Homo-oligomer: A and B are copies of this chain.
Amino acid sequence: MTSGQPVSPGHLYGVGVGPGDPELMTLKAQRVITTCAVVAHFAARNRPGNAWTIVEDLVAPHQEVLRLEYPVTTEAVTKDSYESSIAAFYDESAARVAAQLDAGRDVAVICEGDPFLYGSYMYVHQRLASTHPTTVVPGVPAFAAATAATGRPLVSMDEHLTIVPAVRTASEMKETLASSPASVVMKVGRRLPEVVDAAEAVGIADRAVYVERASTGAEKVMPLLEARDQNAPYFSLVLFPGEAIDQRWSGR
């Protein structure tokens, strides 16, 4: 800044970039990502970051890229210690984003799927939305792409659907799966064996479908009981179609 004028703050965008196929990004996500001065993304150590992989071809050399690298992976910590153990990391990430906003730059924080459906953007939003102009751009959630990949819906018109993050104990998962006609367990990763155990305990393992990296070239779709030994990535999920759907659609 060469002038002494106060800088008008940049705008914070939480942008859902969809399940993996760049073509499943929304027109709005594409516009926001290509017009923001800064594109920020979370990534695990030694990995490019899934959200980044989806958008990198869109980002121009003049745009600044803010890589927010997790000190630990969500899979390496227990449910109870998860939020507390990386709170400091989210504080620091929010501060790095805020510094850009306060310098007058618009920042797009990109997120796989939908930002408010278990997306790490939530932590940045929580820290900055009360002090900075903010817009959340919804995206196509992974479970919608996974369901599309199986070729049949999870629920009929009058059944409810429960979305369960796998960062839970086996008994909590069992309870939740038992109480809903249809469910999706998200972010399965290393908890795949616990998901299989819970599904078998509830008696719905036989109609469950395992989906990995939905909508990407690396997509895998298989019956849960054949997926037991998969080295499931964090971005894998398990679909539990409702009984009515399972029977009505079992022809194919």
Contact = CB atoms under 8 A, between A and B. Distances in A.
| Stoichiometry, copies per complex | 2
Contact of A24 (B27, B141, B179): B27
A115 interface: yes
Interface string A7-43: 0000000001011011111111011000000000000
A79 interface: yes
A139 B144 contact: yes
A156 B51 CA distance: 20
Contact of A147 (B83, B116, B215): B116
A158 interface: yes
A34 to B, nearest CB: 12
B162 A161 contact: yes
Contacts of A26: 18, 23-27, 140
B137 A151 contact: no
Nearest to A30: B27
A156 B83 contact: yes
Given A116-B148, A139-B144, A251-B130, A21 B28 contact: yes
A122 interface: yes
Contacts of A153: 116-117, 122, 125
A70 interface: no
Contacts of A251: 130
A180 interface: yes
Interface in A163-192: 163-165, 167-168, 176, 179-180
A249 B125 CA distance: 10
Interface string A240-252: 0000000011011
A206 B180 CA distance: 25
Among A16, A74, A248, find the residue whose CB has the most chain B CB atoms closer than 10 A.
A16
Contacts of A148: 115-116, 136-138
A158 B21 contact: no
A157 B161 contact: no
The 9 closest A-B pairs by CB, nearest first: A138-B144, A136-B148, A116-B153, A23-B28, A160-B164, A130-B252, A114-B144, A138-B148, A161-B163
Interface of A: 16, 18-19, 21-28, 30-31, 74, 79, 82-83, 114-118, 122, 125-126, 129-130, 134, 136-141, 144-145, 147-148, 151-165, 167-168, 176, 179-180, 215, 248-249, 251-252
